[in-house]
């Protein structure tokens, strides 16, 4: 991860993997490591949103419009998800 992750950071799906929607779930294959990852529900929606570079605050706002979730929790969970995804090399984070 480059710099500190914040609501102003831009996130995009990283290169070096392929993904496929399988009945509302997303299967991601990291081609370098040969590791599979799975996302369902809101995680799958987040993956769909980051196929193009987007600011974290834009993704949060989209989720708040689409799902019934408390804004603070949405923000915390989204930032935690992006940290984990960054640690696994699945996303690029730009400040």
Tens of pLDDT along 75-94? 999 999 999 999 999 999 99
Is 80 exceeded by the pLDDT of residue 1?
no
Please state, in angstroms and rounded to a whole number, the distance separating the CA atoms of residues 13 and 53.
8
- The residue ranges of every structural domain in the chain are 10-94
Is 80 exceeded by the pLDDT of residue 2?
no
pTM of the model: 0.91
**Mean pLDDT taken over the chain:** 94
CATH class of 10-94: alpha beta
Exposed, middle or buried by CB within 10 Å (0-12, 13-18, 19+), for 29?
Answer: middle
Q: Which residue has the tokens 């196929």?
A: 51
State whether residue 82 is helix, strand or coil: helix
């Amino acid at each position: 991860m480059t710099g500190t992750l914040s609501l102003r950071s831009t996130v995009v799906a990283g290169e070096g993997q392929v993904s496929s929607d399988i009945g509302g779930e997303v299967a991601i294959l990291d081609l370098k490591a040969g590791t599979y990852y799975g996302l369902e529900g809101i995680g799958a929606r987040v993956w769909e949103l980051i196929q193009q570079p987007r600011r974290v605050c834009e993704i949060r706002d989209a989720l708040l419009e689409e799902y019934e979730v408390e804004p603070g929790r949405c923000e915390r969970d989204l930032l935690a998800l992006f940290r984990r995804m960054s640690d696994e090399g699945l996303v690029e984070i730009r400040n």
